[in-house]
Amino acid sequence: MAMSVGSGDGEDDRPMSDINTTPLVDVMLVLLIIFLITVPVVIQTVPLQLPQVVNEPTTTKPENVALSVREVNGQCETYWGVQRVPDKKTLLDRGVGALRAEIERQEAMTGSVTELPEVHIRGDANASYRCIGGVIYTMQRAGFVKVGFISEPPAGYRSARL
C-alpha cells in the first residue's frame, strides 16, 4: 500500500483530488460475501408437486345438481337451478331427496348404483367463503360425494375437445 505524504516543493495548500477507494471496495466485498452466504439460508422451500390445472368442459348430466351461490347485503343466497332456496335446512332436505331419488332410479333400471350425481356450484366472485363453504358442507351432509366448481374459462381459451 502506498501513501502520499506530500510533495517536497512546498505545495501543501493544494487540495487532494484523489479518492481512496480501498475502504469502499473492502466494504462491498464483505457485503457480497454476507449476501452470498445468507441468501440460500433465507430462501427455504418445501418440496411439493403442484397439480397441473387443465380447464375441461363439464359434461352436464340431468341428475347433477346445479347450485348458484351469491351474497347480497351480507346475506347468503343459494339457488337450486333458478329457484331460490330459503335456508340450509331446506337445502339439506332437498339434497337428500334428490340423491335418494337418483339412487332409487338407478337401482330400478340396472339393479345397482353405478354413478352418483355431482353437485356443481357456481359461486359469485364477491361471495364470502362462509357462503360457499356452507353450501359445500350442507351438500356433503346430504350425501353428495363429488362437488365441483363451475368457473369462467380465461379469455381466448380453447378446449382440446373442440
Please give the Cα distance from 128 to 126 (Å, whole number): 6
Residue count of the chain, please give it. Answer: 162
Q: Which of 123, 115, 106, 122 is nearest to 145 (CA)?
A: 115
Q: What residues does each domain of the chain span?
A: 67-149
Q: pLDDT tens digits, the chain, 162 residues: what are they?
A: 555 665 656 566 777 777 888 888 999 999 999 888 887 776 766 665 665 656 666 677 888 899 999 998 989 999 998 899 999 999 999 999 999 999 999 888 888 888 889 999 988 888 898 999 999 999 999 999 999 888 776 666 665 554
How much is the pLDDT for 2?
A: 56
Report the distance separating Cα 56 and Cα 149, nearest Å.
Answer: 12
Res 53: pLDDT: 57
Contact by Cβ (8 Å): 143, 91: no
For position 89, what pLDDT does the model report? 95
The confidence score (pLDDT) of residue 162 equals 47
67-149: what fold? Nucleotidyltransferase; domain 5 (3.30.420)
Confirm whether pTM is higher than 0.85: no
